[in-house]
Structure 1
Amino acid sequence: MKKIGALFLSLILAVSVFSGAASAAAKPVSVWMDGAAVQFKQGVPMVENGTTLVPVRPLLEKLGVALNWDAKSQSVMGTKSGLSFALQAGNRTAVVNGVVVSLDVPPRIIRGTTYVPLRFVAEAIGYKVTWDAKNNAVSLTPLGQPGGSTGFLWKAEKNGNTVYLLGSIHVAQAQMYPLRAQIEAAYKASQYLGVEVDLTKTDDESIEKLIADKGMYKDGTTLKDHVSPETYQALVDILKANEMPTNTFDQYEPWVVAQSIPTASEEYQANLGIDAYFMGKAVSDNKLIVPLESAESQLALFDRFSPTLQEEQLQEAINAYSASSSGEMDALTRMWVTGDEDALRALVKASAEDQEYYKALVLDRNLTMSSKIEAYLNDDQNVTRMIIVGALHMLGDDGIITRLKNDGYTVTKL
């Protein structure tokens, strides 16, 4: 659970680890919903570069989606219960619930039939997509929250200043949107947006350089010199299974390797995270983004972990590779969608069981972020700000909300 927990505590780590990966299928697939196969009378599902494409009209009819087709632009727009998406044939850029996303495979028109990416459309309208490799089948299960995802939102006030505090989930699914109206209203009312790391000022190349600087051996040793033979061999077995060179990670420290081993399905993406969503809105609205931390400071936390803790993280990642962490990710997503504070407190408590891990990733950072938030509340600007940090920083004995209340600030749960 340390690996999954870290992804909800470190924004920059989530960005560096998560990217969409397509599910592979070698033969035609069937699509199932409510125990029955979706019937495609014109055209059948097809797989292109690991992405399942299906005829759009029968799929949307089955999902109960209102369809709008623009023949001139060859665009498909669908809406259902406040959820929406827009696609254009041949275009790898799409919009889902107001968020611009990139598609691995664009929609296309084949013999007069428009084919769309199944996972994208289903998740946009609030369905979980499950792939059954044994039967080459896709099942669609309704998810979502009436009125939008609840999340974790508070309002702190003092001296005419207001700070909205949103506990984020750094990696998310498309069906988590829309967000409830109170969250959107808090953003709209704010003059500034505060985040852990300003992703609009970073890029993949700079993050890769930081990881190389913080997480690569420069003393002539390799990973094999720093972990047990059993741990190293287990990693080699994973690399062989994926037809990768057995020395792929030899130059990297265990904490980097641990986060590089895939354990979650491709529906979870950092570019769909709550932080990324609001940073995108802030850029469009010309709203100032203020970072509370930096990418370098976040990665330095992991680099300072003891050799023992780093190997524990790697062992956990290796174990999770076989067991798959998608169930844990689903549970954390459901926690955020429903705003389950009991589940959030339990997760914070579990994180505290390892003192080194908890102090570095939670306690020390909570102190720093709390002091900055209190400074905002005590200044003389009389402005409204929205601060978004990982939800695990909010509650518990050392949480930001707890500290603000103990320090005498008025904090209201919204």
Structure 2
Amino acid sequence: MRFSHTLKVGLSALLLVSSGFLWSAEDKGLFWRVTSSVGSAHVLGTIHFADKSFYPLRKEIMAAFEKSDVLVGELDAEALDSKKIAKILAKETRLPKGETIEDHLDAAVYSKLKQYLQQENVPLASVEHTSPGWLMMQIMSRYIQKLGYKAKDGIDRHFMQRAQGNKEIVGLETFVEQLRLFLELDDADALVSETLRSIETMDSALAALVDSWKKGDDKQLELLLIKEPLLSEPKAKPYFERFIWQRNRKMAKKISTLLKEPKHYFIVIGSGHLIGDQSVLTELASMGMQVERL
């Protein structure tokens, strides 16, 4: 099975920012208010890679953040601890002793990967003991950073840094949980092939995603990221379940527990989790909470 749409699912947050744009007063974005009988929250659809031109953010968003008691992100404050993250990556992303990435790939796919690394001036020796899933994440990130966007300037990290030492920070997932989504994919050959192919053909798709996000058009984003991929590749449904829907249910359950407290939360979640009929917001509404688009 081809993985082109699977990559869109797993990397949707990255895709939403890989074709540069400015955040301005005219950009609607993806922003909601959620209320229970006890607590309340503002929910912002975020993007994980950005640059300085995205700031300052809209006044309404910043006002909601400043008034909040707790920042809720996909990850907690551990994500800001570079030493701890480095230890996790060293443990989780290296292949078992004695194995190289060549052992996990078909000869033709391995040849394509070597050619790409040579073209990008990346020494094979520096990545040959890296798991295929993590290497593909690195390749995608490298591509995005070549366009001028960095994780340190991402919207979610922006709020994490502002909240650190000033607000309680709660995570909906752990870094290891997110990392293993990409490390435990079954077909390494398909993953590597489609990652390399997607880089060559990504620009037009990115332009459509960015335009939809700027307009706050969640329906168009749903069409681009979920409906059209499932229509053209129905067999991809298990991967949507793995990367998006299963996680949405877990996130919504944790948010519903938080909203049993009389506090106001500011929640930052990748935009791909806030669209469609199985989104975090849909799950919260089904639990009896009021969801209002802002």
Q: Do the aligned partners of 2:33 and 2:291 also contact (CA within 8 Å) in 1? A: yes
Kindly indicate whether the alpha-carbon contact (under 8 Å) linking 1:8 and 1:170 is maintained by their aligned counterparts in 2: no
Measure the CA separation in 2 of the matches of 1:4 and 1:203.
28
- Secondary structure of the structure 2 residue equivalent to 1:193: strand
How has the CA–CA distance of structure 1 residues 252 and 356 changed in structure 2, closer, same or farther, with 3 Å as cutoff?
farther
Find the counterpart in structure 2 of residue 367 from structure 1: 249
Partner of 1:313: 191
Alignment partners' CA distance in 2, 1:244 and 1:267? 19
Corresponding position: 1:154 with 2:32: yes
**Do structure 1's residue 7 and structure 2's residue 11 form an aligned pair?**
yes
Q: Which residue pairs with 1:344 in the alignment? A: 221
Is the 1:7–1:171 contact (alpha carbons within 8 Å) kept by the matching residues of 2? no
**CA separation of 1:350 and 1:205: change in aligned 2, threshold 3 A:** farther
Give the AA of the match of 1:187: F
CA drift at 1:398: 1.2
Q: Give 1:252 deviation, angstroms.
A: 1.7
**SS across alignment from 2:164:** helix
Find the partner of 1:173 among 35, 51, 57.
51
**Gap change, CA 1:374 and 1:215, over 3 Å in 2:** same
Q: Tell me how far 1:6 sits from its aligned partner.
A: 2.6
Query: Structure 2: 5+ residue runs without aligned partners?
Result: none
One-letter amino acid of the structure 1 residue matched with residue 267 of structure 2: I
Aligned counterpart, 2:63? 185
Q: Is the 8 A contact 2:77 2:170 kept in 1?
A: no
Match of 2:124 in 1: 246
- Cα distance, 1:413 vs structure 2: 0.7
Deviation at 1:399, TM superposition (A): 0.6
Letter in 2 for 1:375: T
The alignment-based identity, stated in percent, is: 28
Are residues 146 and 251 of structure 1, via their aligned partners in 2, closer, same or farther at CA, if it must alter by over 3 Å?
closer
Q: Name the structure with the higher strand share.
A: 1
Q: In structure 2, what is the Cα distance between the partners aligned to 1:188 and 1:220?
A: 51
Partner-residue secondary structure (3-state), 2:126:
coil
1:245 deviates by 3.1
Query: Following the alignment from structure 2 to structure 1, what is the Cα–Cα distance between the partners of residues 24 and 95?
Result: 49
CA distances 1:308-367 after superposition (whole Å, capped 9, x unpaired): 2x332211221234x264554444333333212122212133565523321221121111
3-state secondary structure, aligned to 2:143: coil
| Alpha-carbon displacement from aligned partner over 1:263-312 (angstroms, at most 9, x marks no partner) | 3333221122110111122126x111111111111112222221x2x332
Alpha-carbon separation, structure 2, partners of 1:199 and 1:336: 27
1:408 is matched with: 288
Bigger helix share: 2
State the distance in 1 between where 2:105 and 2:206 align. 27
Q: Is the 8 A contact 1:7 1:170 kept in 2?
A: no
Aligned to 1:269: 150
* Structure label with greater radius of gyration: 1
Output aligned runs, 1:382-401, within 5 Å: 382-401=262-281
- Secondary structure, aligned partner of 1:343: helix
Distance in 1 between residues matched to 2:82 and 2:229, nearest whole Å: 29
Measure the CA separation in 2 of the matches of 1:348 and 1:231.
28
Alpha-carbon distance in 1 for matches of 2:130, 2:252:
33
Describe the shift of the 1:356–1:212 C-alpha distance in structure 2 as closer, same or farther (beyond 3 A): farther
Whether the aligned pair in 2 keeps the contact of 1:9 and 1:393 (CA below 8 Å) is no
Distance 1:242 1:158 in 2: 51
Gaps of 5+ in 1: 19-127, 129-142
- Residue 110 of structure 1 is matched in structure 2 by none
CA contact (8 A) 2:93 2:131 kept: yes
Bigger relative contact order (CA 8 A; separation at least 6): 2
Give TM-score, length-normalised by structure 1: 0.61
Q: How big is the shift at 1:144?
A: 3.6
